[in-house]
Amino acid sequence: MVESDIETGQAHHQYKVLVRGVTKSFVEQAREVHALHDVNLHAMDAELVTVIGPSGCGKSTLFNIISGVESPGEGRVYINQVEATNTVGHVGYMPQKDLLLPWRSVLDNAILGMEVAGMKRASARERALPMLAEFGLEGFEHSYPHALSGGMRQRAAFLRTVLFQKDILLLDEPFGALDALTRATMQEWLLSVWEKLGTTIIFVTHDVDEAVLLSDRIYVMTARPGHVKLEIPIHLPRPRRYVMVTSPEFLDYKRTLLEALQEESARALGMTA
């Protein structure tokens, strides 16, 4: 129903992102690596959707395909009801290794997207400055990335992504390198920013607590070739607080996810019976 709706231009559902039948292989030293197999998923308006799966299952590849920087072998990507396969510029994308430019100040790193889009540096700075406080970067606008903590660097990279001014954001393991306490603080902070922005977020993680705490829905992927094996709506109330991670409801979701993921990690390591 979904596909025929799209193809006839009669989409009834307000999908922000729709991924249909995406398959991807890489050829590495004459060997074929089957990274993604028939991936189907979607995200609705203002929804926060997480994709979780074992390392190497194709999560970053999936984001590269959704953002249009990589082409799928098969399948299609629709953004805002329009086919956008192989087309860049429709989403804000914070890649897994989103490095700040070391020779640019925090402020000038933040405005990179606006500059690329053709805005004058002075106007771009003017637009970015009032947002620094919200991102915990006030007073650091003229600092260089090396002078920032890990959490601040990630907030600066996230600000840069937000300033691309897209209503869909792809965040690839943004908190992966942070210590547990910083990570918990950043998760609550991200939720508060997301609620104010009203954007759709697709979030990649391999952290179960993070997935449950943040998400409206979670897609669990299999080991490579990555394929959606489970879709779990999370009905915990909002606003979410980190202390919720010990509630019985939270632990139920966590158990379901852990079971599904452990099976996949074992498979990825060739350790199944």
Q: Which does 57 bind (CB under 5 to 8 A by kind): Mg ion, ligand ADP, none?
A: ligand ADP
Applying CB under 6 A, does 26 fall inside the site for ligand ADP? yes
Q: Which does 32 bind (CB under 5 to 8 A by kind): ligand ADP, Mg ion, none?
A: none
- The edge-to-edge listing of strands for the beta sheet with 82-83 is 31-44, 15-28, 74-79, 82-83
Residues 68-97 that bind Mg ion (CB under 5 A): 96
Q: Find the shortest distance in angstroms from Cβ 58 to Mg ion.
A: 8
Applying CB under 6 A, does 59 fall inside the site for ligand ADP? yes
Applying CB under 5 A, does 60 fall inside the site for Mg ion? yes
Residues 28-47 that bind ligand ADP (CB under 6 A): 28, 33, 35
Q: Find the shortest distance in angstroms from Cβ 51 to Mg ion.
A: 10
Spell out where 46-196 has E strands. 48-52, 74-79, 82-83, 92-94, 168-172
CA distance 188 to 194: 10
- Count of all residues that appear for the chain in the document: 273
CA distance 108 to 137: 13
Applying CB under 6 A, does 61 fall inside the site for ligand ADP? yes
Cross-strand pairs, 232: 218
Q: Which does 185 bind (CB under 5 to 8 A by kind): Mg ion, ligand ADP, none?
A: none
The binding track of 200-239 with respect to ligand ADP, each residue x by CB under 6 A or -, is: ------------------------x---------------
Q: Which position among 14, 55, 86, 149 is part of the footprint of ligand ADP (CB under 6 A)? A: 55
Q: Which position among 11, 40, 46, 60 is part of the footprint of ligand ADP (CB under 6 A)? A: 60
Q: How many residues bind ligand ADP (CB under 6 A)?
A: 13
Give yes or no for a contact between 170 and 66, defined as CB atoms under 8 angstroms apart.
yes
205: number of Cβ within 10 Å: 23
Give yes or no for a contact between 77 and 65, defined as CB atoms under 8 angstroms apart.
yes
Task: Select from 34, 8, 4, 33 the least CA-distant residue to 20.
Answer: 4
Would you say 52 or 232 has its CB closer to Mg ion?
A: 52
Task: Select from 247, 169, 178 the least CA-distant residue to 213.
Answer: 247
State the residues that interact with ligand ADP by CB under 6 A: 26, 28, 33, 35, 53, 55-61, 224
State the residues that interact with Mg ion by CB under 5 A: 59-60, 96
